[in-house]
Amino acid sequence: MHPHRGKQKLPERRHLSRCCPSGPLSNWTVQSRILTSHRSVQFNEAVRLSAPARRPRGRWLLRLSPLREDEGSAPGGGPRRDGGWVFATPEGERVEKGQVLVKLDTAILDAELKQQQADLGLARDTFERNRSLSQRGVGTQVAFDEATAKLASAEARVQLSKAKLAQSTLVAPFNGVVGLRAVSVGDFVAVGKQLITLTNIDPIKVDFRVAEIFLSQVRVGQTISLKVDAVPNKDFQGQIFAVDPVVDINGRAIRLRATVPNRDLVLKPGLFARVTIVVDQRENAMLIPESAVVPDGIGKVVFIVENGKAKRVAVELGKRLPGKVEVLKGLTPQMQVVSSGQMRLRDGSNVSIKNAPPPVQTSALPVAPTSP
């Protein structure tokens, strides 16, 4: 090695050591400055606020049940005598109480009634003659008694003929709609044969059951809502008009009966209906969006905004509704909860509000149905 060349390199090494410190120390210094710089920057979380709503709330009970007619019968139970040609009201026609539905041919009965009325006239004349003779003392008591008996018998036969005529005509016992006939016009019918049906379906009835625990929350006059698949996109409203006084010991349920107006006759007996009734009602309940609730280790919390910072508030929840949840404790109506972006928040986080919360709503809110 050349001695002069070695002496020239020593200052070079010393210069490099002063300008460039050892590798690990240099890296630590640069990284520390970068981290310190990052920690000094504070970001605002963008959130949306929602104002609590004050609305009535309750619980829907959903039940499936077939519709039934308000009144239905085969008027008169059919003819009470054999024979007669049938004349009937057209099928499907609306009729009023007392209107003729079915009439049998009465030619024979009319003739029999005339004969009985003639016999009655003769018996009445005979009775009057014998009574006059008896009063003058020239008639016998036996003749008078026989005339009296014949008069009573003739009167009874006339009443019997009139009753037969009445049974030949079936009238509507109530307002309703005529059903399909079981016979054709002109048929010869026998006693007791069903001829026609009459049904009153305005209003229409529906029977359904609710669990016994809701007994104190149902009453006569309470409103129900009804839907049927045969009439989509339409809700029918009705009222409970009877509550069974007996609880079913097997199903621990109580039976209710409601009527639903059916002026257009679109609801038919036998259709299955979804009946809903609201129970466990509470007026002026405080409701917030369900999305505002954040799970916590010991309960549920929401975030509110105070002075541009997020504040964590513990709440006690009540009933859950579609998209809403009831708040029992922890909030006041003036507090606006974070309903979007709350999952990134911590207590004291800086926030920026992306929306102005809507005014407090007070309209009625549909509640979550409970299937049977």
63-72: pLDDT as tens digits: 778 888 876 6
Which residues lie closer than 8 Å to 168 by C-beta, 6 or more apart?
A: 79, 81, 84, 103, 104, 105, 106, 109
By residue count, the chain amounts to: 372
Within 10 Å of residue 259's Cβ, how many Cβ atoms? Answer: 17
pLDDT of residue 51: 80
How many Cα atoms within 13 Å fall on the side-chain side of residue 209?
12
pLDDT of residue 258: 93
Condensed to tens digits (0 to 9), the pLDDT of residues 18-41 reads: 444 444 433 433 333 333 344 434
pLDDT of residue 60: 60
Report the amino acid identity of residue 18: R
Q: What is the pTM of this model?
A: 0.52
Going along the chain from its start, the domains and CATH numbers come out as: 46-55+284-370 (2.40.420.20), 62-71+200-282 (2.40.30.170), 79-104+170-199 (2.40.50.100), 106-167 (1.10.287.470)
pLDDT of residue 41: 44
Report helix angle 141-167 to 107-136, nearest 10.
160
End-to-end CA distance of the chain: 102
pLDDT of residue 265: 87
pLDDT of residue 364: 46
pLDDT of residue 248: 87
pLDDT of residue 8: 47
pLDDT of residue 176: 86
3-state secondary structure the chain: CCHHHHHHHHHHHHHHHHHCCCHHHHHHHHHHHHHHHHHCCCCCEEEEEECCEEEEEEEEEEEEEEEECCEEECHHHCCCCCCCEEEECCCCCEECCCCEEEEECCHHHHHHHHHHHHHHHHHHHHHHHHHHHHHHCCCCHHHHHHHHHHHHHHHHHHHHHHHHHHHCEEECCCCEEECCCCCCCCCECCCCCCCCCEEECCCEEEEEEEEHHHHHHCCCCCEEEEEECCCCCCCEEEEEEEEEEEEECCCCEEEEEEEECCCCCCCCCCCEEEEEEEEEEEEEEEEEEHHHCEECCCCEEEEEEECCEEEEEEEEEEEEECCEEEEEECCCCCCCEEEECHHHCCCCCEEEECCCCCCCCCCCCCCCEECC
**Inter-residue contact 128 to 144 (CB < 8 Å):** no
Residues of the chain under the 50 pLDDT cut: 1-41, 76-78, 80, 82, 359-368, 371-372
